[in-house]
Amino acid sequence: MSSRSALPSTPVAPATVLAAAVRSGERTALDVLEEHLARISDHEVDVHAFNLVLEDRARESAAAVDARVAAGGDPGPLAGVPVALKDNLCTRGVATTCSSRILEGWEPPYDATVVQRLAAAGAVVVGKTNLDEFAMGSSTEHSATGPTRNPHDLDRVPGGSSGGSAAAVAAGFAPVALGSDTGGSIRQPAALCGVVGVKPTYGLVSRLGLVAFASSLDQVGPFAATVADAALVCEVVGGHDPGDSTSLPQDFPRVLAHLDDGVEGMRIGLVTEMLGEGIAVDVAARVRAAAEALTAAGAEVEEVSIPAVTYGLSAYYLVAPAEASSNLARYDGVRYGRRVDAPTAGEMMVATRTAGFGDEVKRRIVLGTYALSAGYYDAFYGKALRVRTLIREEFDAAYERLDALISPASPTTAFAFGDKTADPVQMYLNDVCTIPSNLAGHPALSVPFGVGDDGLPVGVQVMAPALGEVAAFRVAAVLESVAPSAGAPS
């Protein structure tokens, strides 16, 4: 990897360290913010992590945090920590575009629940990050605002759909960021950018204010430079939300308290179906090395077969587009967003959606509408739901004797721009390791574990049963502590 195509390395303090310094008065939130804004000013033109940088708004938030500290108050566990938000999370009075022309300039009248909780914890939002349009993609190349670049190699993709959030953390623009994960959109870019990315159990983090892609699969989660930072953000944004009908009636598990518990005595499975065909040899080698490291740390590691995961990709690309075709029907040029005038209402809707949606979104709407159409519902969507149940049952059976599972988070390291855009199926295969956990509703995360043969980061995926975040974070913390360094962008 040529150093000419990567960002210069700059040490970035973890969110836990920054928050402690601000809360104690050792540093000011404004000072912390300006440090990160300077980094954005210097390098955002190369990366394009953001659709919008909120400098003035962020300075107002940071000043409010400092005022509270000066008055003897405690702003919260994320005091003064800069946070980047994926641009499909509603922010009151700030454009939320989903990187789509159809929502250009739309300003929501409310904040997403997770955004409210970040503010209550003292965090400072620095901007809205780029994504594949409506979160449909695995490379952040399907964005109306242009692609985001991987800070480790600017000639390569950051993954997707939350590529802007992953790149923002990898580039040091913010210690933490939020993304959404429908089929791997947090874990895959986290792996490609060499950061931690977490998809919690479905229902543990509110979806209120997350612009819907596939409602039974979408989940909000954090990106962070460290496992501890990711755990802290999960605890801040997670927990019951009465405004979200799918929200579980409980707090987020206290994962921070268990990061030092280690893995002694834990039983961990290495999923064989996720190490064979389609997985790059160097990536598989890093995952096997992670298994050896867990064994050395006292865990019992064994290979385990979960045959149904091989059907995950097929089931997902029926379930997710079907839900997307329903959710995206609201963008009709009438209620909000872009409108292209035409002689009749029907022609106006067609013209609006033709101009407003990109090719990948149109492709998935067509696929989903077909799967739900009369005569095909049972053959396609109904069968996909039965496969989804089978996947969940096989995972549950594995978890009856295992505490956690590991696999690659992405089948390859970061690939070059244009490598997969000509063949949608090749792009979809990027999610082959991550989709099963979405279909099952289980938690999973990606933690960096060294580099591939090309010198680019490799992420190990840690999976756990529903509400098994403590086990997943224990494994991740151990892997982080023994991981070969992927290096900062340099």
Task: Identify which of 62, 83, 80, 76 has the alpha carbon closest to the alpha carbon of residue 125.
Answer: 83
| pLDDT for the residue 486 | 59
Directed axis angle between helix 359-372 and helix 312-327, to 10°?
100
| Euclidean distance between CA atoms 85 and 151, whole angstroms | 18
CA distance 316 to 208: 23
Q: How much helix, strand and coil, in percent to the nearest 5, is found in the chain? A: 45, 15, 45
Q: What DSSP assignment string belongs to 90-124?
A: -BTTB---TT-GGGTT---SS--HHHHHHHHTT-E
Mark whether 185 is an active-site residue. Answer: yes
> In a 3-state reduction of DSSP, which class is residue 174?
coil
pLDDT at 300: 98
Name beta bridge partners: 197. Answer: 223, 446
Q: Is 420 a residue of the active site?
A: no
Over residues 140-150, the pLDDT tens digits come to 999 999 999 99
**Statement: residue 166 has pLDDT above 70:** yes
Closest CA to 439 of 163, 90, 202: 202
By the 8 A CB rule, do 444 and 187 touch?
yes
User: 86-90, 410-414, 485-489: which has the minimum mean pLDDT?
Assistant: 485-489
Per-residue pLDDT at 33 exceeds 90: yes
Residue 165 has pLDDT above 90, yes or no: yes
Banded model confidence at residue 10, pLDDT cuts 50, 70, 90: confident
Task: Please write the tens of the pLDDT for every residue from 111-141.
Answer: 999 999 999 999 999 999 999 999 999 999 9
Give the tokens for residue 467.
């509400």
pLDDT for 487 equals 54
Residue 8 clears pLDDT 90, i.e. is over it? no
Q: How far apart are CA 190 and CA 319, in angstroms?
A: 24
Q: Mean of the pLDDT values across residues 173-200?
A: 98
How much is the average pLDDT of 420-449?
A: 96
Which position among 86, 128, 199, 420 bears the catalytic label? 86
Q: What integer pLDDT is reported at residue 261 of this predicted model?
A: 98
Angle at the Cα of 382 (from 376 to 388), degrees rounded to 5?
A: 140
Give DSSP secondary structure letters for 14-77.
Answer: -HHHHHHHHHHTSS-HHHHHHHHHHHHHHHHHHH--EEEE-HHHHHHHHHHHHHHHHTT----T
DSSP per-residue string spanning 214-250: STTT--EEEEESSHHHHHHHHHHHBS--TT-TT--SS
Is residue 2 very low, low, confident or very high in pLDDT (cuts 50, 70, 90)?
A: very low
Would you give the distance in Å from CA 220 to the centre of its chain? 7
Nearest to 278 by CA among 425, 486, 391: 425
How far does CA 386 lie from the centroid of its chain? 26
- Percent of the chain whose pLDDT exceeds 90: 93
Q: Is 162 part of the annotated catalytic residue set? A: no
Bridge pairing between strands 444-451 and 196-199 = antiparallel
Q: How many Cβ atoms sit within 10 Å of the Cβ of residue 316?
A: 27
The Cα–Cα gap between 85 and 335 comes to 25
Enclosing H/E stretch for 425: helix 424-428
- One DSSP character per residue, 283-302 reads HHHHHHHHHHHHHHTT-EEE
Cα distance between residue 115 and residue 367, in whole Å:
32
Instruction: Write out pLDDT tens, residues 213-268.
Output: 999 999 999 999 999 999 999 999 999 999 999 999 999 999 999 999 999 999 99
Confidence of residue 490 (pLDDT cuts 50, 70, 90): very low
Q: Which of 161, 162, 206, 446 is catalytic?
A: 161
pLDDT, one tens digit per residue, over 285-320 is 999 999 999 999 999 999 999 999 999 999 999 999
d(CA 111, CA 117): 10
Confidence of residue 336 (pLDDT cuts 50, 70, 90): confident
pLDDT band at residue 5 under the 50/70/90 scheme? confident
Average pLDDT, the chain: 96
For residue 53, the one-letter residue type is V
- What number is the average pLDDT over the span 61-66? 98
Residue 357 has pLDDT above 70, yes or no: yes
User: What pLDDT, on a 0 to 100 scale, did the predictor assign at position 4?
Assistant: 44
Please tell me which residue in 143, 165, 185, 325 is annotated as part of the active site: 185
| DSSP-derived pairing of the beta strands 176-180 and 196-199 | unpaired
3.90.1300.10, 2.40.110.10, 3.20.20.210, 3.90.1170.50: CATH of 3-258: 3.90.1300.10
